[in-house]
C-alpha cells in the first residue's frame, strides 16, 4: 500500500476536535473524561491522515497539533499510568490477565512519546510563513503514529475501560477524580 492509499483508507475526518478542551466538570466522571480524551485522539489521527493525503500542514493547524502533543497527550498518559491502570490492578483478579495488557499499553506510551518528539520536530519547524510541506519520511511517521494510536485506543476502549466500569468502586473513582483534578489544575 502506498502512503496515499493508506491515508485515503483513514476516511475524511477533517474534524479538529483534538484542539477542543474537555469540560472540567467531566473530571467528576473520570472514565468518561478519559473516553472523551480518546475521541480527541481519534480526531488527531484523522487529521494526520488528512495531512498525509494533502502533503502539507497549515501553520495554524500545525501549532494546534504541537500544543496538543506537548501538553494534552502527556496529561492523558499520566491519567492512565498513574491513576487508572494502578487502580485497576488493585481490583482485577489475576485470572483476568489484565496486567500483561496494561504493561503493553505503557510500553506503547513510551514508543508514542518517541514518535511524538519526532512529529513535533517536523511540525514546529519554522522555515518560512507558508504551510509546512511533508516529505515521504514525515508522511510515513504521521501514518505510523495514527495506525499505532488507533490500535491502542481500540484496546483501551474495548478492554480497559469496559473492565474499569465493572470493577472500579465508587471510592476508586472518587480517588481517581481527585488526583486527576490536581493534575489538570482544577480545584477539587
Ligand atoms: Fe488512552
Ligand atoms: Fe493509553
Residue 188 lies in a domain: no
pLDDT for 8 equals 45
Q: Rounded mean pLDDT of 43-60?
A: 95
Chain segment 115-155, per-residue pLDDT in tens: 999 999 999 987 677 899 999 999 999 999 999 999 999 99
Residue 12 lies in a domain: yes
Residue 35 lies in a domain: yes
At 16, which CATH number?
1.20.120.520
Residue 77: domain span: 3-183
- Residue 17 reports pLDDT greater than 90: no
Chain segment 147-170, per-residue pLDDT in tens: 999 999 999 999 999 999 999 999
Domain count, the chain: 1
pLDDT for 3 equals 45
What percentage of the chain reaches a pLDDT higher than 70? Answer: 90
Residue 76 lies in a domain: yes
Distance (angstroms) between ligand 2 centre and the Cα of 163 equals 15
Residue 56 lies in a domain: yes
For the chain, the maximum distance between any two Cα atoms, rounded to a whole number of angstroms, is 56
Protein residues within 5 Å, CB atom, of ion ligand 1: 156
- Residue 16 reports pLDDT greater than 80: no
Distance (angstroms) between ligand 2 centre and the Cα of 152 equals 6
Distance (angstroms) between ligand 1 centre and the Cα of 188 equals 22
Residue 77 lies in a domain: yes
Q: Are 164 and 31 in contact (CB under 8 A)?
A: yes
Distance (angstroms) between ligand 1 centre and the Cα of 49 equals 19
Residue 150 lies in a domain: yes
Residue 27 lies in a domain: yes
pLDDT for 96 equals 78
pLDDT for 13 equals 39
pLDDT for 188 equals 57
Q: Which ligand is nearest to the CA of 35?
A: 1
Among positive and negative, which fits the CA dihedral 82, 85, 91, 94? negative
Amino acid at each position: 500500500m502506498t502512503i496515499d492509499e493508506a491515508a485515503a483508507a483513514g476516511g475524511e475526518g477533517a474534524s479538529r476536535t483534538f484542539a477542543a478542551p474537555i469540560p472540567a466538570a467531566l473530571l467528576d466522571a473520570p472514565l468518561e473524561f478519559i473516553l472523551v480524551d480518546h475521541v480527541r485522539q481519534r480526531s488527531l489521527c484523522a487529521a494526520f491522515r488528512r495531512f498525509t493525503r494533502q502533503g502539507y500542514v497549515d501553520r495554524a493547524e500545525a501549532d494546534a497539533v504541537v500544543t496538543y502533543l506537548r501538553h494534552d497527550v502527556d496529561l492523558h498518559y499520566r491519567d492512565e499510568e498513574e491513576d487508572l491502570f494502578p487502580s485497576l490492578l488493585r481490583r482485577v483478579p489475576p485470572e483476568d490477565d489484565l496486567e500483561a495488557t496494561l504493561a503493553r499499553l505503557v510500553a506503547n506510551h513510551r514508543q508514542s512519546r518517541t514518535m511524538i518528539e519526532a512529529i513535533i520536530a517536523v511540525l514546529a519547524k519554522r522555515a518560512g510563513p507558508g504551510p509546512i510541506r511533508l516529505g515521504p519520511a514525515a508522511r510515513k511517521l504521521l501514518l505510523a503514529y495514527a495506525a499505532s494510536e488507533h490500535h491502542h485506543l481500540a484496546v483501551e476502549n474495548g478492554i480497559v475501560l469496559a473492565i474499569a466500569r465493572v470493577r472500579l468502586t465508587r471510592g476508586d473513582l472518587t480517588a481517581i477524580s481527585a488526583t486527576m483534578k490536581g493534575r489538570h489544575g482544577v480545584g477539587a
